[in-house]
């Protein structure tokens, strides 16, 4: 259970984590997604306290940051201390242009990306299967770097929003 069957991440029996020990001590408000890395589109969903997939039409990191900021506003309205854990999945593959908002791709559209000097054009014999690239994937590396950078720009903006709107909080 809990996102352990590869390829069935939209099936809530694999993505929903019920209240209890598998939430690892997160006993208060608990919004979570079920192990997917498509941040735009039909698979952009989360769960609250039921196995219902709750879809939203925002870029997932933006939606999660908005949700966190709403919780911070609510929780900071009294004198009780609290802890909030915001885990944004970006930057994560697939590093494809459809998986990041255009405005962030536009930030890096005129920038050149290069493979590092220590880049090896062949697979490491000891690499895990996920780290082995075929010829077509190798041809995409600089474009993946562009999308990764665009995702990172969005991530930076979202963390900046939390810090700017809540300067009294210790953000780690």
pLDDT in tens, 31-89: 887 667 888 877 778 888 888 888 888 999 999 999 999 999 898 888 888 888 898 98
CA neighbor of 17 nearest in space, from 7, 27, 86? 27
pTM: 0.86
Query: How many angstroms separate the Cα of 156 from the Cα of each of 81, 142, 159?
Result: 26, 21, 5
Tell me if residue 83 falls in helix, strand or coil: coil
| Span 136-160, pLDDT tens digits | 999 999 999 999 999 999 999 999 9
Write the DSSP string, 24-52.
TT--S---B--S----SSTT-EEBSSSS-
**H or E segment to which residue 55 belongs:** strand 54-55
Bridge partners, 46 (sequence order): 54
Cis peptide before 91 (omega within 30 of 0): yes
Q: Is the pLDDT of residue 6 over 70?
A: no
């Amino acid at each position: 259970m809990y996102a352990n069957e590869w390829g069935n991440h939209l099936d809530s029996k694999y993505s929903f984590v019920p209240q209890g020990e598998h939430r690892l001590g997160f006993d208060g408000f608990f919004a979570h997604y079920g192990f997917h890395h498509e941040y735009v589109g039909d698979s952009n969903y989360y769960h609250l306290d039921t196995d219902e997939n709750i879809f939203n039409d925002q870029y997932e990191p933006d939606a999660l940051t908005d949700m966190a900021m709403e919780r911070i506003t609510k929780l900071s309205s009294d004198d009780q201390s609290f802890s909030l854990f915001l885990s944004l999945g970006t930057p994560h593959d697939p590093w494809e242009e459809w998986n990041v908002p255009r405005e962030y791709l536009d930030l890096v559209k005129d920038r050149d990306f290069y493979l590092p000097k220590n880049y090896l054009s062949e697979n490491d014999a000891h690499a895990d299967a996920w780290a082995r690239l075929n010829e077509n994937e190798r041809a995409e590396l600089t474009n993946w770097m562009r999308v990764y950078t665009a995702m990172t720009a969005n991530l930076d903006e979202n963390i900046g929003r939390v810090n700017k709107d809540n300067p009294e909080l210790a953000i780690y």
